[in-house]
Amino acid sequence: MKALLINCSPVRTGATAEIMKIVAEQLSVRYTVKSICIDDYTFAFCKGCRTCHNTAKCIMHDATVIQNIIDEFDNADIIISVSPSYWADVPGQFKAFIDRCTPWCNTHEPHSTIKLGKKGYAIALRTGPSMPECERIISSIEHFYGHLEIECMGHLGLTSIEYKEDVEPRKQEIIEFCSNI
C-alpha cells in the first residue's frame, strides 16, 4: 500500500517538515511513502471561469501541474495532509491547489475522478495554545477530501508549535496518531 504525505506549507524546512519526517518514519514500516511539498509546484490561481463544470477539465495553461499532483493522489491509498495555520486556515498555496481541483469536485457533472477507496488524514499545527484554529484547518482539509470522495479517517491538532524544535516534545503524540493509520 502507498501513502502520500503532503506538506501544505511553503516552508520546506520548518515545523511542518519535522512532523512530516516523523510521520514518514512511522508509516514507512507498513507503507511505501512518498512526500511532496506544495511549494515544489508552481501554478496560477483558479480564475473561476467554471469551464471545468461543463468539461471536467481545466483550461488554464498550467493544468498539467495540477494533474501531476492529482496523479500522486490517484497513486496513493492513504493521503495525509500536514498543514500549519496561516491566519487560522490552510496556507494560500494549498488553498490555491484546492481551488484548482474543481474539475475533480463531486458537486457538478461531469467531473473527473480519482480511484475510489482512498483514506485521508489531516494534521494541523499552530503557534498558539487554542485548538479551535487547528479544528478549522482540519475542517478545510476534510471538506476538500469529501469533494474528492476520500474517506476521512482521522486527524490530529497540535498547538503551541512555532519552530521545528517545538515538535520533539510532541513526538510521542504524533507516533501514537500514526499507529492508527
Cα separation, 137 vs 79, in Å, equals 16
Residue found under cell 495553461: 61
Per-residue confidence (pLDDT) for residue 34, from 0 to 100 = 98
- The pLDDT of residue 39: 94
Report pLDDT digits (tens) over 81-102: 999 999 999 999 999 999 999 9
Q: What is the pLDDT of residue 72?
A: 98
- Prediction pTM value: 0.97
* Residue 143, pLDDT score: 98
Residue linked to cell 467531473:
111
Q: C-alpha angle 153/157/159, rounded to 5°?
A: 175
Please report the pLDDT score of residue 30 as a whole number. Answer: 97
pLDDT of residue 13: 92
- How high is the mean pLDDT of the chain? 97
The model's pLDDT over 22-79, given as tens digits with 9 standing for 90+, comes to 999 999 999 999 999 999 999 999 999 999 999 999 999 999 999 999 999 999 999 9
What is the C-alpha to C-alpha distance for residues 137 and 134, in angstroms, rounded to an integer? 5
Q: What is the mean pLDDT of residues 115-120?
A: 97
How many helices and strands (H and E) does the chain possess? 6, 5
Structural domains of the chain, with CATH? 2-178 (3.40.50.360)
